[in-house]
Chain A
Amino acid sequence: KAGVTQTPRYLIKTRGQQVTLSCSPISGHRSVSWYQQTPGQGLQFLFEYFSETQRNKGNFPGRFSGRQFSNSRSEMNVSTLELGDSALYLCASSLDGPNQPQHFGDGTRLSIL
């Protein structure tokens, strides 16, 4: 069974641009969560989607948004990029239910110049 797939693996953008990251969950997983990892703030929760609905949202500005499609694939978008958005963005998928383990993709490393 294929794991969680994130694309692209690396991305370089400049301030003010926008970016879209993609995540394909493990087959059969309908819950997808996104996290931002920076050296200073650690791993921080962005949002969680289930059946195309946002179920939980972290404490990030409105520039960060996401969505989930009917096939459970998810995208996250960051608009008006700032230098501080440089980070590793990780996606995780799980079966439904709060007692299910999360499985992570390899991440997208975003660098803002």
Chain B
Amino acid sequence: GIQVEQSPPDLILQEGANSTLRCNFSDSVNNLQWFHQNPWGQLINLFYIPSGTKQNGRLSATTVATERYSLLYISSSQTTDSGVYFCAGRRGGQNFVFGPGTRLSVLP
């Protein structure tokens, strides 16, 4: 199956700062999602983005399918952005594979 890497593993920001999270896949995927897991364990859908660019408020994501990577941008970060960010991909009818996550801490 595919392998998923995420970087950086940990990130500490001051409130108001911007950040970029990266996700690399070992093979091409036809389904790619970004999630935010809050401190209560809930996995929140951020983006379904197998290719292209999408924006939702302060968050945006870009996937370059031919290069097998995706980026998540967080602008003007807030303390509520803290948590773990996961990307997950799926190739064909195989199961989803999650990356190890990026743990983000936003300090007031």
A contact set with B: CB distance below 8 Å: 33, 35, 37, 42-45, 48, 55-56, 58, 88, 90, 98-104, 106-107, 109
Contacts and interface: CB of A to CB of B under 8 A. Distances in A.
Contact of A88 (B41, B92, B100): B41
Given A42-B100, A90-B43, A109-B41, A101 B92 contact: no
23 contacts: A33-B96, A35-B98, A42-B98, A42-B100, A42-B101, A43-B88, A43-B98, A45-B96, A55-B93, A56-B93, A56-B94, A58-B95, A88-B41, A98-B30, A98-B92, A100-B31, A101-B33, A103-B45, A106-B40, A106-B41, A106-B42, A107-B41, A109-B41
User: What bracket does the count of chain B residues touching chain A fall in?
Assistant: 20 to 34
Contacts of A100: 31
